[in-house]
């Protein structure tokens, strides 16, 4: 499996830079525990091969899988899938680890593909406990699958489990026995900060107040501004005052034309605005006078009063003059 050509990708992309750097580091390390490379036609899809940990039911097994990197890598975690039968993880199912996409809240950009592979090897002997993508075969079944895994080949990357890893050194202690220490001097990875997070395969449905599969709701009308609400309150108060003044002055009735619109629609007034109810306007009911009309009516009443007083004064004066002539 050859690494992709650097000229096929934008080397200024942070994800591409990081991936190319990890390709060089894994090739230089040449570990007997794992190996990984991207596909020739996709830099963000890696195929890996790991060796089963010693002193476990997976000892002697060679396991192959896929790693899918997001475009935001290394700021978002990858997804990990095993392709070889192993008795610990389901084949073709994304594994639920704190370094996988199942738990992006635990991911750290300083972690790498090597971190994921070493963590995967270390957690193979642990119990599944019903986590997503986890299974618990018996030790005998796992040992049988470990023997069969050596002859497994990948049709996608043409990797052969029998020859893809360097031979394991003899009398080599298990570097993954103590998960609280560093895995090895080459990777310097602390497994204490990585966990296999169990999750139920079918989480219970949470009660929801919303109806299932709600249809798109229509867009709400535009809310009224505080200035508009204040204007409506003032208008209602003015209408009440004018109504009282109209009842006191008893204005002449005016016929409302049939094409005159009625009161303001109630749907345009928000629920939180308190407006006093107004008497309904019928066909022959007198209309309310405006402030200008009231002012004009008052001025007209004053002028009429002055005219009457002046006329009365003239009559009195004329009568007084006539009485004086009679006496003479």
Query: Count of CB atoms within 10 A of residue 93's CB?
Result: 15
Q: Is 158 left (phi over 0), alpha (psi -120 to 50) or beta?
A: left
Structure tokens at 249: 């002055």
Residue 74, preceding peptide bond in cis (omega within 30° of 0)? yes
* φ, ψ for residue 52, nearest 5 deg: -60, 140
Does the active-site annotation cover 154? no
Burial of 325 (0-12, 13-18, 19+ CB in 10 A): exposed
- CA 209, distance to chain mean position in Å, is 18
Best CA proximity match to 174, nearest among 118, 131, 230, 228: 118
Q: Which long-range contacts link 14-22 to residues 24+ away (Cβ below 8 Å)?
A: 15/44, 15/69, 15/71, 15/72, 15/73, 15/74, 16/43, 18/73, 18/74, 19/43, 19/44, 19/69, 19/73, 22/112, 22/113, 22/114
* CA gap 127, 87 in Å, rounded: 11
| 38 and 46 Cβ atoms separated by less than 8 Å | yes
Q: In sequence order, which residues have a C-beta less than 8 Å from that of residue 106 and are 6 or more positions away?
A: 98, 99, 195, 197
| 110 and 187 Cβ atoms separated by less than 8 Å | no
DSSP 221: P
Which of 96, 154, 157, 164 is labelled catalytic?
96
User: Which positions are catalytic?
Assistant: 96
């Amino acid at each position: 499996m050859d690494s992709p050509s650097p000229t096929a990708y934008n080397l200024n992309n942070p994800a591409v830079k990081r991936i190319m750097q990890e390709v060089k580091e894994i090739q230089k390390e040449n570990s007997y525990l794992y190996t990984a490379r991207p596909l020739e036609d996709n830099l963000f899809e890696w195929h890996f091969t790991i060796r089963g940990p010693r002193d476990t039911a997976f000892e002697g097994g060679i396991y192959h899988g896929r790693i899918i990197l997001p475009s935001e890598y290394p700021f978002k975690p990858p997804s990990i899938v095993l392709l070889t039968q192993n008795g610990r993880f389901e084949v073709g199912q994304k594994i639920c680890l704190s370094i996988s996409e199942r738990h992006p809240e635990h991911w750290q950009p300083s972690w790498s593909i090597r971190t994921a592979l070493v963590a995967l090897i270390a957690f193979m002997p642990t119990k599944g406990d019903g986590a997503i993508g986890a299974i618990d075969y018996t030790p005998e079944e796992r040992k049988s699958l470990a023997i069969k895994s050596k002859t497994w080949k990948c049709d996608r990357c043409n990797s052969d489990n029998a020859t893809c890893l360097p031979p394991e050194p003899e009398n080599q202690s298990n570097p993954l026995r103590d998960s609280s220490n560093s895995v090895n001097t080459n990777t310097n990875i602390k497994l204490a900060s990585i966990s296999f997070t169990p999750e139920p395969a079918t989480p219970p449905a949470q009660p929801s107040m919303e109806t299932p599969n709600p249809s798109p709701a229509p867009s709400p009308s535009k809310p009224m501004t505080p200035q508009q609400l204040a204007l409506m309150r003032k208008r209602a108060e003015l209408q009440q005052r004018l109504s009282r003044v109209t009842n006191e002055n008893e204005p002449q009735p005016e016929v409302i034309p049939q094409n005159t619109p009625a009161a303001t629609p109630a749907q345009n007034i928000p629920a939180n605005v308190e407006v006093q109810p107004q008497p309904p306007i019928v066909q022959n009911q007198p209309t309310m006078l405006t402030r200008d009309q009231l002012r004009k009516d008052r001025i007209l009443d004053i002028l009429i009063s002055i005219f009457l007083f002046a006329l009365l004064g003239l009559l009195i004066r004329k009568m007084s003059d006539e009485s004086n002539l009679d006496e003479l």
